[in-house]
Every structure is written in structure tokens, then in C-alpha cells.
Structure 1
Amino acid sequence: MGVKEDKKKTCGTICLKYLLFTFNFLFWVAGGVVMAVGVWTLMEKSDYISLLPSNIYAASAYILVIAGVIVMVTGVLGCCATFKEQRKLLLVYLILLVFIFLLEILAGVLAYIYYQQLNEELKQNLKNTMIEKYGKEDSKHITKAVDKLQQEFKCCGSSSSSDWAENQWIHLESAKGRVVPDSCCKTVVDLCGTRDHPSNIFKVEGGCMTKLEKFILDHLKIIGAVGVGIACVQIIGMVFTGCLYKNLKTEPY
């Protein structure tokens, strides 16, 4: 009877080891995905981040990058701990899993919170940013971001092209008679912004605000889904790790 019980324990441990190894490999790949989503958000969309008054969107992406790096390192540690059957390493691995789980849940929660308040923030701040900072020497990054926004989303102004009438730069000599920035034009050429006829510039209902809002909301969904989704998968890893840790404690040597 004792031999059979020992065999069952050994068999159970081996099964858990391979299950945990498989999980670690998938976990390592998932870490790469998490990090990639965070880096992509920060690198490709950094111009748009500068138009947002809150840092929550950027913070969510930074958390994903940090979590992704830790996940990849933890995945390697998990493989070592599993095959060497070292209980101390397994315990460290389990603690790291819990820490990453909390980080990713935090990223998901931040994305959800910002999802709820984004519309109000854009209403209050996007127009002011365009009016007060566009064209200023000390706000070149804002000018670049607005130009990119208007060209990529084929829009003009925060709510409409008429918003540009309130911009200070438009009334300066350096604007050379433009009534809207050249980036509002359907075909961008120098001084095309001197004519704001619908045949020449983008006239989009709701302006750039609705376009940027939709864009950010879609990406918040991705950030939230990736963070919470991988965190849920980690629960399986925590269960496997806990079971293997327990088996190694009770298994005879």
C-alpha cells in the first residue's frame, strides 16, 4: 500500500511539473505580449498621450510594460524552480506571480476608471489645448500631436473647424493668412489652410474630439482586457505552483 501511495505521489508530482512547465512557457509568451502592448501604446501613441490632461492612460501602459518584463523573468525562474524541484524557488515564484497578478489587475482597473471619465476630460481640455498651445514655440510637441491627430483621423478642430478662430497663432503674421492649420486639409500643401471650404478641409461631425475619444476608448479596452485576461490565467499558475509546493513537502526522498 505504501509503495502504491508513493507512486501516486511521484506520478502526481511529475504531472504537476509538466503542467507547470507548459504554463510557464505560455506565461512567458504572454509576458512578451503584455510588454509589447504597453510599449506600442507608449511609442506609437505618445503624441496623443501629450494631448490628454491625465496621466492615467500612460500609467496603465507603463504598468503593462513593467508587468511584462517581470512576467518574462518570472517565467524563466518558474521553469528552473519546477525542474530543480526547489521549494524555496517555487515560493519566490509564487510570490512573484501574486505581485504580477496585482499589477495587471491595477492596470485593468486604471484603464476602466479612465474609460469612465475620458469623455468629460476631452470636452474640458482638448479645445483649450488646441487654442492655447498650438503654434507656440514652447509647445512644438503639442503642435506636432495636433497636426498628426487631424491628418490621421481626417478631422479639424476639437468640435469643429470653427474652433480655430479662437487660436492665437491663427491671428499672427506667422500664420500667413491661414484660417485653419494646413493639417486640416484633405490634401496638405503649404498654405492650404487659408481656405476653410468643405471641399478643401475635413468637416467631421463632432470634430477631432469624437475621433480621439473612440481611439483612446478602443485602446483602453485592449489594455484592460490584456491586463485582466492574463491576470485570470495566472490564477491557474498559482494553483499549479501551490499544489507542486505542497507535493514536494509531503513527498518522501
Structure 2
Amino acid sequence: ILNTNKQTLHYSLAGGVVMAVGVWTLVLKSDYISLLSSKTYAASAYILVLAGVIVMVTGVLGCCATFKEQKRLLRYFILLLCIFLLEILAGVLAYIYYQQLNDELKQNLKKTMTDEYNQTNSEHITKAVDKLQQEFKCCGSNSSADWAESVYIRSGAKGRKVPDSCCKTITNMCGIRDHPSNIYKVEGGCITKLENFILDHLKIIGAVGVGIACVQIIGMVFTCCLYRNLKAEPY
């Protein structure tokens, strides 16, 4: 029983790790999710959160089952199977999106930034773009020249040539001057920075999903063996 409880405790800890990765992606990196047209990245994170919760619940049920030796509780094998499928799904989605990300960003990021920045009901996009340009020290999707096509800049923007978030040192109206000494001029623009950032996180999501799923295979085998042993015992 002691070894079994240790095993279920390990599952609970693994569930905490899975859930933490999902929550970290959704909460701390949620601004960038709004810049993506596809929901696959967010879906992978939500799946990890759900799988993590189920793993932790399963760990508790496993402890109860082995401590009380109630055979019916060992049927939580079905939960282990659900977790396994969810984590594999998260890993597969991350892999698929990994292959599609470059094309998506090329097709949509520039349009999102130029059409929706500082527009009505697009505050989340504005916040995400400002954070993107400041955090990654870049300006525009492909280059700072992209902002010349922006609805915000073309409408006047009080004389700005780029948003103030392009500036190396942000001050009010600093976007009026688009000289390299004042704004970020990064080769490849923000699209390259954002792509590398998301690709790194997709690797983490995929690795965690598939890695924990492999551990769950051991858990399912262990549960089946334990269930059969208890089933063989007389009441």
C-alpha cells in the first residue's frame, strides 16, 4: 500500500506540473494569444490544464482506493485513459501548429497590427502589440515601415510615424521620430521574434503532454495489475 500511495502521489505531482504549464501559457502569455488567428495554441494549453486537474483528482482517488482497498475505486483507470488521450491530443496539436505557425503569422500578423491597433473594441490587440514591441525590442510585423499602412498612423496619430511602443525609451509622442537611434530597427521585425517565442513554448507544451502521457501508460498498467490482485482476493 505504501508503494502504491507513493505512485499515486507521483501522479498528483505530475498533474500539478501539467496544469502549471497550461496555466502559465494562458495567464502569463495570454496577450500574444490574441495576435494569433488560430486557436490551436490556446487549445493545447487548455487541454493541459484539464488533463492536469484530472491527473490530480485521479491521484486522490488512487490513494483512497489503495488505502481502503475498494475495488470499485480502482475503476479510475478510465480517468487515466482520458488523461492519456488528452495529453496525446495536446502534444499532437502543438506539433501540428508548430508546422503551421510560420504561414499563419505571415498571412495575419501584419494585417492584425495595421488594421486593429488602437481601434475601437481592439484594446486587447493594442495592449498585445505594445507589449510585443517593447518586450522583444522590435517595431512592426516585418519592419517599422509596416506602420505606414496602419489605420492608426494614417488617421493622423498626432503626427506619429510609429506607435510610441516602438521607441527604445518610451515618452509621449516619441513615435514622431522613426530614426534608428530612437526606434527599434530589427531585421525580420516582430514576426520573427514572436514566431521563435511561440515555437519554444509549443516545444514545451508538446514535450510535457507526450512525456506525461508516457508516464500514464505505466500508471494504467500498474492500475490494471492492482485491480486484478484485489479482485482475486476474497471479500
Query: TM-score range, shorter-chain basis?
Result: over 0.9
Structure 2 CA distance, aligned partners of 1:214 and 1:97?
A: 33
Question: Which of 63, 67, 71 matches 2:47?
Answer: 63
Which amino acid letter does the alignment assign opposite residue 30 of structure 1? A
Question: Which of 220, 234, 249 matches 2:216?
Answer: 234
Answer whether contact 1:19 1:240 (CA < 8 A) is retained. no
Which amino acid letter does the alignment assign opposite residue 119 of structure 2? K
TM-score by length of 2: 0.97
Structure 2 CA distance, aligned partners of 1:155 and 1:212?
A: 10
Question: Which of 120, 145, 170 matches 2:103?
Answer: 120
Aligned to 1:5: none
Tell me the CA shift for residue 252 of structure 1. 4.3
Which amino acid letter does the alignment assign opposite residue 160 of structure 1? S
Structure having the higher Rg: 1
TM-score by length of 1: 0.90
Residue 194 (str. 1) matches residue 176 (str. 2): yes
Answer whether contact 1:20 1:241 (CA < 8 A) is retained. no
SS for the counterpart of 1:38 is helix
> Which stretches in structure 2 are left out of the alignment for 5+ residues?
none
Which amino acid letter does the alignment assign opposite residue 92 of structure 2? V
Aligned to 1:21: 5
Residue 179 (str. 1) matches residue 161 (str. 2): yes
Structure 2 CA distance, aligned partners of 1:138 and 1:231?
A: 40
Aligned to 1:140: 123
> Which stretches in structure 1 are left out of the alignment for 5+ residues?
1-16
Question: Which of 69, 75, 81 matches 1:85?
Answer: 69
SS for the counterpart of 1:137 is coil
Answer whether contact 1:20 1:237 (CA < 8 A) is retained. no
Structure 2 CA distance, aligned partners of 1:77 and 1:210?
A: 46
Report percent identity of matched pairs. Answer: 77
Residue 223 (str. 1) matches residue 172 (str. 2): no
Structure 1 CA distance, aligned partners of 2:21 and 2:232?
A: 41
Structure 2 CA distance, aligned partners of 1:74 and 1:205?
A: 49
CA displacement, residues 35-65 of structure 1 (integer Å, 9 cap, x when unaligned): 1111111111111000000000000011111
Structure 1 CA distance, aligned partners of 2:184 and 2:24?
A: 28
Answer whether contact 1:28 1:76 (CA < 8 A) is retained. yes
- More deviation, 82-91/178-187: 82-91
Structure 2 CA distance, aligned partners of 1:30 and 1:181?
A: 43
